[in-house]
């Protein structure tokens, strides 16, 4: 599959984990509050790597000129804009999020991309019909959903058979000592950076907390399979602090 080299196949014995316990309205209020600083914080905390990670997610979709795609939990629209450039002006990209403030920034920044539309919507009940899209993506959004498997199932529902579902998420490196060090550093740095740049230390404590309970790359692949996706594969990026997962929507039975 284009864009995912060095794929690993999900281990069937991995047990999928359920979802984010923080209530949806609290998650949305938190993202509304950090929207003005979100992009700056992203670049700062990833040392600018986030752009390359989103490009890897775009490439994993296999989208072509004229295709239709949906970016779920789109935030300020950075991945949606990359998809829009890929499908071109005769394609279509729908960018969906629950945070009005994040959507407002996306609409403002990417107003020149005529093929890109932003709308309010819940990842767990997307306002689109079955099989409308060639691909669905979610970048750093899955961790926020109350039910990860239901999130994948809903993305699969709106994608045509043979189309792709792609997830870009923070992950934990495979090497345990490094993973522990990385996690400890993230736990300390995120709130400090949040306090300095976004003036929201609390919100940036949520980030490492949400990573605590998040599935490993193997478990996430198992969750995609449980949601009915096939050919599930993933690729770790930047020493495994991030992973891109890709699955295919099977023929409807």
Ligand X SMILES: C[S@@+](CC[C@H](N)C(=O)[O-])C[C@H]1O[C@@H](n2cnc3c(N)ncnc32)[C@H](O)[C@@H]1O
Cβ 5 to ligand X shortest distance, Å:
22
Cβ 177 to ligand X shortest distance, Å:
27
Q: Which is nearer to ligand X, 150 or 195 (CB)?
A: 150
Cβ 13 to ligand X shortest distance, Å:
29
Q: Rounding to the nearest 10 degrees, give the CA dihedral for residues 170, 6, 157, 124.
A: -10
Q: Which is nearer to ligand X, 43 or 239 (CB)?
A: 43
Cβ 213 to ligand X shortest distance, Å:
15
Cβ 34 to ligand X shortest distance, Å:
9
Distance from first CA to last CA of the chain, Å, rounded?
24
Q: Which is nearer to ligand X, 10 or 73 (CB)?
A: 73
User: What secondary structure, in 3-state letters, does the chain show?
Assistant: CCCCCCCEECCCCCCCCCCCCCCHHHHHHHHHHHHHHHHHHHHHHCCCCHHHHHHHHHHHHCCCCCCEEEEECCCCCHHHHHHHHHHCCCCEEEEEECCHHHHHHHHHHCCCCCCEEEEECECCECCCCCCCEEEEEEECCHHHCCCHHHHHHHHHHHEEEEEEEEEEEECCCCCHHHHHHHHHHHHHHHHHHHHHHHCCCCHHHHHHHHHHCCCCHHHHHHHHHHCCCEEEEEEEEHHHCEEEEEEECCCCC
Q: Which is nearer to ligand X, 12 or 212 (CB)?
A: 212
Between CA 246 and CA 249 the distance in angstroms is 10
**Residue number closest to ligand X, CB atom:** 75
Q: Is 182 exposed, middle or buried (0-12, 13-18, 19+ CB in 10 A)?
A: middle
Q: Which is nearer to ligand X, 120 or 184 (CB)?
A: 120
Q: Which is nearer to ligand X, 100 or 250 (CB)?
A: 100
Cβ 176 to ligand X shortest distance, Å:
26
Q: Which is nearer to ligand X, 27 or 68 (CB)?
A: 27
Cβ 147 to ligand X shortest distance, Å:
9
**Residues within the interface to ligand X (CB under 6 A):** 24, 27-28, 31, 73-75, 78-79, 97-99, 102, 122-124, 139-141, 144-145
């Amino acid at each position: 599959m284009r864009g995912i080299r060095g794929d690993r196949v999900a281990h069937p014995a991995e047990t999928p984990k359920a979802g984010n316990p923080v209530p949806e309205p609290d998650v949305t209020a938190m993202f509304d509050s950090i929207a003005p600083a979100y992009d700056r914080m992203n670049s700062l905390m990833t040392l600018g790597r986030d752009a390359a990670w989103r490009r890897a997610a775009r490439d994993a979709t296999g989208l072509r000129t004229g295709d239709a795609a949906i970016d779920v939990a789109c935030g300020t629209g950075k991945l949606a804009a990359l998809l829009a450039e890929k499908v071109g002006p005769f394609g279509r990209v729908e960018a969906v999020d629950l945070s009005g403030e994040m959507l407002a920034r996306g609409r403002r920044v990417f107003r020149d991309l005529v093929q890109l539309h932003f709308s309010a919507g819940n990842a767990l009940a997307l306002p689109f019909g079955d099989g409308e899209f060639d691909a669905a993506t979610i970048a750093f959004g899955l961790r926020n959903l109350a039910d990860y498997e239901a999130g994948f199932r809903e993305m699969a529902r709106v994608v045509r058979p043979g189309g792709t579902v792609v997830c870009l998420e923070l992950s934990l490196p495979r090497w345990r000592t490094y993973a522990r060090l990385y996690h400890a550093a993230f736990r300390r740095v995120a709130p400090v950076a949040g306090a300095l740049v976004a003036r929201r230390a609390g919100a940036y404590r949520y980030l490492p907390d949400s990573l605590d309970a998040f599935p490993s790359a193997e478990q996430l692949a198992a969750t995609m399979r449980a949601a009915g996706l096939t050919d599930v594969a993933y690729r770790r990026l930047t020493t495994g602090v991030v992973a891109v997962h890709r699955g295919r929507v099977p023929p409807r039975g």
